Copies of this chain bind each other. A is one copy, B any other.
């Protein structure tokens, strides 16, 4: 067993505290990763505080994991000791259903996706995430990180990056298309970067005048302030795709009026309260959909794309001793634009 130090939550009312635990010894297909950095995702907080009602404790959060390969199993072919490598939101799946075979393991139709933490592996053991100094995973679910990327700033690509890359790619963001990004936070700022890099005309929606300049620097061709009266008026029927990166409940119907016929609104923000959709808002074959991270093959494609285009997340570094403060700021959306834990300071 691999003795590991990490930060764990032991019930829904606590923040993570130091905890010594063990990972399995690497099997023939496994990689042991020495974790360098782990991004802080809002979903870490939702899960640790059991806001989605599915928490299993003890929980070591963290699914934006970057590190160095410290050991490999005998059958591992993709990695050697010393390689930079990354683990995102999944560490296994059924691998046999149509979605898994299509490389969309996050939509495993046998509901057998094993998430990086707060999940049970095929042996029934709880999985533990990246707020720690080691992790063991099957190489099929471990990613290569292009050498030119800053490893700390690359960590959030594993969730915030793929979560926005996948739907933008799937729904055709590119030249000749007009794409809107709702919210400029951890997800939104990555969506903005990718949509711009794909060549789409990219519009940032925000309630904050203070974010206009940042949005333009990050790649927005236009910024629309959604707190102004009649803000939709000049933009009706003009968008091909709108990616909603906001987790707080808000009215999505105005955004639907901005879509062209057959246009798509996609949430990745996953508000806790249901989306309230007027039937009339979708009658012009406007689509409301949602997307969840991306498959392993597409995550590697995203990382390679980031290497080619020098895309990483804008981050603030933090440490385990400041974790409580960092979580508080994440909940207040007070971070530009993603906290990353320095796991070597554990």
Q: Indicate which residue in B109, B271, B287 contacts A289 across the interface (CB closer than 8 Å).
A: B287
Q: Indicate which residue in B261, B279, B283, B290 contacts A285 across the interface (CB closer than 8 Å).
A: B290
Residue of B with least CB distance to A236 = B109
A226 is an interface residue with CB less than 8 A from chain B: no
Q: Indicate which residue in B99, B107, B264, B285 contacts A291 across the interface (CB closer than 8 Å).
A: B285
Interface of A is mostly: mixed
A77 is an interface residue with CB less than 8 A from chain B: no
A331 is an interface residue with CB less than 8 A from chain B: no
The reply to whether B279 and A276 contact each other, CB–CB distance below 8 Å, is no
A145 vs chain B, min Cβ distance (A): 26
A284 is an interface residue with CB less than 8 A from chain B: yes
Q: Please give the count of copies of this chain that the complex contains.
A: 2
A278 is an interface residue with CB less than 8 A from chain B: yes
A124 is an interface residue with CB less than 8 A from chain B: no
Most chain-B Cβ atoms within 10 A of its Cβ — which of A264, A270, A286, A289? A289
Q: Indicate which residue in B107, B109, B285, B288 contacts A277 across the interface (CB closer than 8 Å).
A: B288
The reply to whether B270 and A274 contact each other, CB–CB distance below 8 Å, is no
The reply to whether B261 and A271 contact each other, CB–CB distance below 8 Å, is no
The reply to whether B283 and A286 contact each other, CB–CB distance below 8 Å, is no
The reply to whether A284 and B237 contact each other, CB–CB distance below 8 Å, is no
How many residues does chain A have at the interface if contact means C-beta atoms less than 8 Å apart?
Answer: 34
A277 vs chain B, min Cβ distance (A): 4
Q: Indicate which residue in B104, B109, B274, B291 contacts A278 across the interface (CB closer than 8 Å).
A: B274
A170 is an interface residue with CB less than 8 A from chain B: yes
The reply to whether B284 and A287 contact each other, CB–CB distance below 8 Å, is no
A12 is an interface residue with CB less than 8 A from chain B: no
A282 to B292, CA, bound (A): 9
Q: Indicate which residue in B270, B271, B282 contacts A267 across the interface (CB closer than 8 Å).
A: B282
Instruction: Kindly supply a per-residue 1/0 record for chain A positions 190-217, scoring 1 wherever the CB is within 8 Å of any chain B CB and 0 otherwise.
Output: 0000000000000000000000000000
Residues of B within 8 A of A277 (CB): 274-277, 288
Residues of B within 8 A of A274 (CB): 276-279
Residue of B with least CB distance to A99 = B261
Q: Indicate which residue in B264, B280, B286, B291 contacts A270 across the interface (CB closer than 8 Å).
A: B280
The reply to whether A292 and B288 contact each other, CB–CB distance below 8 Å, is no
The reply to whether A170 and B290 contact each other, CB–CB distance below 8 Å, is no
Instruction: Kindly supply a per-residue 1/0 record for chain A positions 166-195, scoring 1 wherever the CB is within 8 Å of any chain B CB and 0 otherwise.
Output: 010010000000000000000000000000
Q: Indicate which residue in B104, B264, B275 contacts A279 across the interface (CB closer than 8 Å).
A: B275
Residue of B with least CB distance to A247 = B279
Most chain-B Cβ atoms within 10 A of its Cβ — which of A99, A279, A284, A288? A279
The reply to whether B276 and A107 contact each other, CB–CB distance below 8 Å, is no
A237 to B97, CA, bound (A): 11
Residues of B within 8 A of A283 (CB): 270, 290-292
Instruction: Given the known inter-chain contacts A274-B276, A279-B267, A279-B274, please indicate yes or no for A107 contacting B261, CB distance below 8 A.
Output: yes
Q: Given known contacts A280-B290, A282-B290, what 7 new A-B pairs fall within 8 Å (CB)?
A: A99-B261, A104-B261, A275-B278, A277-B277, A279-B290, A281-B290, A285-B291
The 20 sampled A-B contact pairs (Cβ below 8 Å) are A98-B261, A107-B261, A107-B284, A109-B237, A109-B261, A167-B285, A264-B287, A267-B282, A270-B283, A275-B276, A277-B277, A281-B290, A282-B289, A282-B290, A284-B292, A285-B289, A285-B290, A286-B289, A287-B287, A288-B288
